[in-house]
Amino acid sequence: MIEISYSAIEFWFCTFFIVVASIQILYYIFFYFRVCFIKRKKLPAVPTVAVSVIVCAKNEEENLRNFLPLVLEQDYPDFEVIVVNDSSEDDSEYVLNDLLAKYKNLRVSTIKKDERFSHGKKLAITVGIKAAKNDVMLFVDADCRPCSSRWLYLMQQQFRDKKELVLGYGAYAPKKGLLDKLVRYDTYSIAVNYMSFAHAGIPYMGVGRNMGYTKNVYNQSSKFSAHYHIMSGDDDLFVSEVGNRSNTTMILDRDSFTMSEQVSSFRNWKFQKRRHLTTSPSYGFFVKCLLGLEPFSREMFYLCTLLFCIFLPTTMRMPILILLGVRMFLFFLISFLNLRRFKEKGLWLFTLLFDIYMPIQIGLLHIQNIIHPFKRQW
């Protein structure tokens, strides 16, 4: 019978902690630290080119009335706004007709409802792209508003030096309560991930609330056919397919952000997250490994820290304390700096809570998607 001594268990526990802590430190240094230093580009202005802004809307009557004028009135000399009214059953058509009479740069494409044919947002985006007259296209959702009248200008200025895919930040309007903190922290942490990975030359996603690309990039892609069977992915799977180190850039100027209204309940947030998570199994193997290793090592780090506090092992105590201190210092420092970059106020005190909680919640939602596959289109 093999006997395992307490000292051997203590040794392997300490070794495991050193491994997961080191992985965490590498992620913060190699990836997340990058976002802190993405330069606010003070580049010489390039000549403005004609731009097409594409907005897909399904039953967005109120949002179109409230937010679409902020897109139509951007301080920019030459642009069109194409709204794809996708089988709306509310009064979107009448709202758009009123706006058409007021704004000469507005165009509307309508997808009629067909009981025999079910489709997702990708069809609406494809219709918008086909209707676009210009090579540079910006995408924003109907429930979004630009944070300034310079949004379109700043996004367009990024299409230089052979950059054809621009990743922006789509924030959520602050509210009161813990749900607000959860929604905004989740949005911020996702943005830190995809922007830091893109900065490292591994673009794997963007958000349809604020991004842009050229028709050239679109024509070189599968035009959504490679993942049309997946209900989402019109943004992240498209970026994962066409993005690379040389053609992708990102912008973190406050005036380039868009702002959306938050969901009204925790249940709605989980519903939204489940839909978004349907795309992650289709990421490339390398990206899935990188995205999965970080939250796994993070939870193991916290679990080992808890066990360390309870049992206080003597073996390799000093290396453990050093790694624990370095990781937590980097976490709080980089969180503070990045939250300031993204202009997300009132979240820093909640970072530790959500850093522990989010991987658990996302894991549970992944399991729920496996047991009860998500079916709604958009």
CATH number at residue 221: 3.90.550.10
- Across the range 30-40, mean pLDDT stands at 84
pLDDT tens-digit profile of 176-211?
999 999 999 999 999 999 999 999 999 999 999 999
- pLDDT for 227 equals 81
Tell me if 187 is assigned to some domain. no
- pLDDT for 225 equals 84
Q: Is the pLDDT of residue 150 over 90?
A: yes
Tell me if 349 is assigned to some domain. no
- pLDDT for 314 equals 66
- pLDDT for 14 equals 85
CA distance 356 to 306: 12
Q: Is the pLDDT of residue 257 over 50?
A: yes
- pLDDT for 1 equals 43
For residue 337, report the phi and psi dihedrals to the nearest 5 degrees. Answer: -65, -40
Q: pLDDT > 90: what percent of the chain?
A: 71
- Across the range 50-75, mean pLDDT stands at 96
Confidence band for 5, pLDDT divided at 50, 70 and 90: low
Q: Is the distance from CB of 111 to CB of 127 less than 8 angstroms? A: yes
Tell me if 34 is assigned to some domain. no
Confidence band for 2, pLDDT divided at 50, 70 and 90: very low
- Across the range 71-96, mean pLDDT stands at 94
Of 53-67, 103-117, 213-227, 329-343, minimum mean pLDDT range: 103-117
Q: Is the pLDDT of residue 146 over 90?
A: yes
- 171 or 311, higher pLDDT: 171
Q: Is the pLDDT of residue 47 over 80?
A: no
Of 143-157, 186-200, 223-237, 293-307, minimum mean pLDDT range: 223-237
Tell me if 192 is assigned to some domain. no
Q: Is the pLDDT of residue 44 over 90?
A: no
- 306 or 314, higher pLDDT: 306
Calculate the average pLDDT of the chain: 90
Q: Which of 247, 331, 334, 236 is nearest to 288 (CA)?
A: 236
- pLDDT for 98 equals 95
- pLDDT for 38 equals 74
- Across the range 117-144, mean pLDDT stands at 92
- pLDDT for 6 equals 55
Tell me if 114 is assigned to some domain. yes
- Across the range 301-312, mean pLDDT stands at 86
Tell me if 335 is assigned to some domain. no
The encoded tokens of residue 154 equal 């700043």
Tell me if 219 is assigned to some domain. yes
- Across the range 104-133, mean pLDDT stands at 88
pTM for the full predicted model:
0.90
- pLDDT for 226 equals 82
- pLDDT for 158 equals 93
H/E/C letters for each residue in 96-148? Answer: HHHHHHHCCCEEEEEECCCCCCCCCHHHHHHHHHHHCCCCEEEECCCCEEECC
Q: Is the pLDDT of residue 292 over 90?
A: yes
Q: Is the pLDDT of residue 9 over 80?
A: no
Q: Which of 170, 148, 160, 171 is nearest to 75 (CA)?
A: 148
CA distance 154 to 311: 54
Q: Is the pLDDT of residue 31 over 50?
A: yes
Query: What size, in residues, is the chain?
Result: 378
Q: Which domain holds residue 96?
A: 51-177+203-265
- What are the strands, taking DSSP E only, across the chain? 51-57, 79-86, 106-111, 136-139, 144-146, 165-167, 170-172, 211-214, 248-250, 258-260
- pLDDT for 378 equals 57
Tell me if 198 is assigned to some domain. no
Q: Is the distance from CB of 369 to CB of 272 less than 8 angstroms? A: no
Give the chain's domain count: 1
